[in-house]
Structure 1
Amino acid sequence: MAPSVSSIKSRPVAVLGAGVLGRRIACTWAAGGWDVRIHDPNDKQRTAALHYIQNNISTYINVTGAMSGNVQAFEDLTEAVKDTWTVIEAVPEELSLKVDTFAELEKAAPKDAILASNSSSYKSSEMLEKVGTETRKRIMNTHYMMPPENRIVELMTDGETNEDIFYFYMERLKELQLHPIVAKRESTGFVLNRIWAAIKRECLTVLAEGVSSPEELDKVWIEMFSGGNMGPCAMMDAVGLDTVKFIEEHYIRDRELSGEKTVDFLKNYIKQGKLGGKSGKGGFYPAGYTTKTRGENTHSHENLHAPSLYMLDLGLNSLSDPLHSGRIVIGSPDGRKLRTIVSGQALPDGLDISLKTGRIYWTNMGIPESNDGTVQSCRLDGSDIKTIIQPGSVHTPKQLIIDQEGDRLYFCDREGMRVMRCKIDGSEHETLIKRGDWRDEKDAANQMNWCVGVSINKKEGKFYWTQKGLSKGGKGRIFRANIEMPEGQNAEDRTDIELLFSGLPEPIDMEIDEDNQQLFWTDRGDPPMGNSLNSVKLSELKSLKEGEKNPQYDILARQLHEAIGLKLDQVNRHIYLTDLGGSVYRCAMDGKDKKRVYEEEFSFSGITLAHV
């Protein structure tokens, strides 16, 4: 028998699996006012799922008019499913894992909880090997497509499911403004996915036989069927070609099909690491093809691999207190309305994020004439703000980056004329480079020694930094040194410092693409060389001697307005840029296809991103 509405009113919903679909399912139920518990053994996935929901729940439909439900994440399955009225399994598509999961749920979940599998390729009847007869009566499939855009949910029996459950569950889904349909009998692929599988199979055959290209095939499909949205090849890229292969293998086994022109064809891409939009190497299309920006039409399967963007607003446009009105704001490549998570900051400049710790880290320059800069940290939702480098320990901190593997922060200190490093909790704070003493009047007046941008290259064992020189002065420089301090030397006398560029307009922030060993930097100096995005291959760099010319470098993009922030999106192979003129831009790694994501009455400084 299905439970009554009154018996589930105060009980939570559990979702097992915090991946792309799991977090969207959780967000859908939370938007409908239900408390939701997410279970995932991976702490990064749990953190990312919670942050996804915080950033996106406003875009999900709330039909109840009530407050959104509370969402929690659990490592322990028993805690996650305690007192729940339904548990939705969204773990990886491995049949043995699903069989074991339902065996665990039989023991841990309430005896009246409805247990649902979100599998798109396995029937729930295949998951019953380790559960008893009574439990089988409350197990079924509820396959969600891709909320919030696509709101179809397919329900299907496990062959023994109590029929009363379907009507009850459909009513709960309709309350969320989802669109449930029930398969009349068990079927591999349910209803829509079975049709979609046939379309994918024939598209792959067309490509394998060389009859058409992905671009041509999608163009025809879009014109004929999808009203200007997304074609089947782009959709397969968005889902992941490895996932498409895995699903097709199940159909092959179930229906004794040939995989010669489907699975075997996909293996050619997968061997090269071309898994689609999630891989950084692309698939049928180049990396980043399915991640759209503001103003572009999007399909439910686009922007699945788009990052969340975190920007610093210096607060200079505040009429009341421009020196203490800095903020951290969160946005996205599609230009969604910016959301403030931290305010009241003293000229924030550089930031980065660690999903491992679930925290954001940023620098506050403070009052430039004072020795009151700080390094701050907070949880991803903006709570629990901590000062990890206290005033007086850093003068005017600028760009900050995280060594994600080594759990260390690197940051430059402009007026302090230093490059510094500390552990992620602020301990072991040390100076790596010291170009002068800010307490010495002569040194303090020499802007040539101001350190601004910093990046590290673990493969090379080096760190890089910029010294911008006078504003618009055309005397900016870029240096590098070893990450490990030479034995017996210190920040003032180390002998491994190399000058790489001199006479640049005014170099600011930088980042290194370690995969391709390429250095990128912004320059806020005068045009045509300044207010630009620039790059050079690290193999082209050598230590400059007096009178030697700079190595040749590429200007990838111009016409920025006081260029500052820079962040590489390695998944989509994009670059995000900020400027003091209030714009956030996105371009390809070669600088082409520059698009404005935001144009605000802000003064943007640092930028970072996270894939959640």
Structure 2
Amino acid sequence: MHLTWQPPQNYRSRPVAVLGAGVLGRRIACIWASAGYDVRIRDPSPEQRADCTAYIQANVHSYGQKTSQSPGTFEAFEDIEATVSHAWLVIEAVPEKLELKIATFAQLEAVAPQDCILASNSSSYKTSEMIEKVSDATKARILNMHYYMPPECMIVELMTDGYTDEGIFPFMVDRSKEAATLPYVARKQSTGFIFNRLWAAIKREVLTMLAEGVSVPEEIDSMWTEMFIKSQNLPCALMDKIGLDTVAFIESHYVHERGLSPEKTVNFLKQNYLDHGKLGTKSEHGGLYPSAAKQKPPSNSATKPRILALDVGLCAATWTTTSGEVLELSSKGKIQRVLVPSQPLPDGIVVDTSNDRMFWTCMGVPGKDDGAVYSANLDGSDIRTVVPQGGVNTPKQITLDDEAKKLYFCDREGCRVFRCNTDGSDLEVLIDRRDVKDVQGNSAIFNWCVGITVAPKFGKFYWTQKGPSKGGNGRIFSASITTPQGQTARSREDVQLVFGGLPEPIDLELDEESNILYWTDRGEYPYGNSLNKAQLDQSGLPASASEKKYDVITRNLKEAIGLKLDLQNGHIYLTDLGGSIYRCDLDGGDKEKIHSDDYRAFTGIALF
């Protein structure tokens, strides 16, 4: 009778065993120790054992910055039985000799616990080649678990031995994520796994070009840098952008010229995609990726949204003025792909779900009229300039009036609020505060316009003026969607102060059903670095008669910026310049950090 696979009992209190204390073995051990697991390492060499424990001692805390766990214990052994006793996971990283690996798994079957998962770090051999001396029951708990070179590369590839119980894979995916590694599962056995096959193809073609005298190493590497590293083109997404019919046509030429088999290129594309109208991003049926329309969740049921977030680029490992990126993340906060790379300080983003397009602002160099607004399909294709450089200074948050199909955005250093059609036409200035001074005669920074939201039900739009950094002089204003007759952006008399004396308000969102205004504030504690809300009355002004009139509902953000309501699921999504993305309830409760990266600084956020 077949029994459903069960995870090793009490695995969290049991050790992870690593066989081999060499360059990779000690790094694998350090990964698991950084996740709070007790680790045992076995190596016959005293020198290797000493070097291994010294490496873990020196590096486990830096590895642990990604896991947020207190390190587990670690110890090196000569005896294999002492190493694997009570272990829930054993990873062999012994020398790449097939006979040795076959003998190792036979020995592990005899001395390791019967519920222990047995893995090989081999990149040269499939585990199906290592299991000839073990029973069928043991074969079901053996798999490949191939690491690259931590901590620079935290990828791990998982692959079946042909008998591995399917339940092991989701379990080990979750455990790998605990240890801050990125797990990828090969759907079937494959010599070289996933990445090494990609690399093999690239390597083979590069060597062929060099042998034929087509190019030289410097030119090949330079072109790769421009086409793939700087532009961050991804192979499958790029084929969809080019068009799978065009890809098939090009491959047909290679097939005829080089005498290649079309089975796994042209024929594969024709049978699985082209014959079904799946041509890529230009097709409503999609291509290698589903079409944007099919990816969009239905509007009549509660679904977990996908996330678009802007990395302004200020924390990039190698910073330039165009280090910014438009990113797509899963609802759990995992980055799926870079949709648009090389952006000059992107700040605000909004999605037009009716047309499956996103719009975002780029600040450019603050103080110069080089800001711009762009749009693209939700997969990053068909990028268009909506507002070109030269028309605005430092565009910030952007929002959309769905019914009127009008974009609203703030211009920080320009001290203005703009509106235009979604194609950029009819660009108009709604608010111009460049000449407005406060009671002390100050202007400029006191009138920097940052966040914006529009409320057609009130016939108003709202915007923030953040004031000096941490200055406690931030304000939120409102004005009519329609400029009063005979008045201008500078002279209009319908501007109303909604809130004053705020630490440093940034982005705005409005729940029109409940008349609740939300905003982020990156000002000083205790009221800054927070998420705030205020109840509005039927005229769109604060409903509370109290002096404060608003509530701080979530605190302890790190330079709070982006804000997006998910009313369908009762959630709010937030970003900060500290590299984190959060999700909380509409009352600020149950806040969780769904993404964190010290090398990113997030600004705008949108959902679709």
The two structures have a TM-score, normalised by structure 1, of: 0.50
Larger Rg: 2
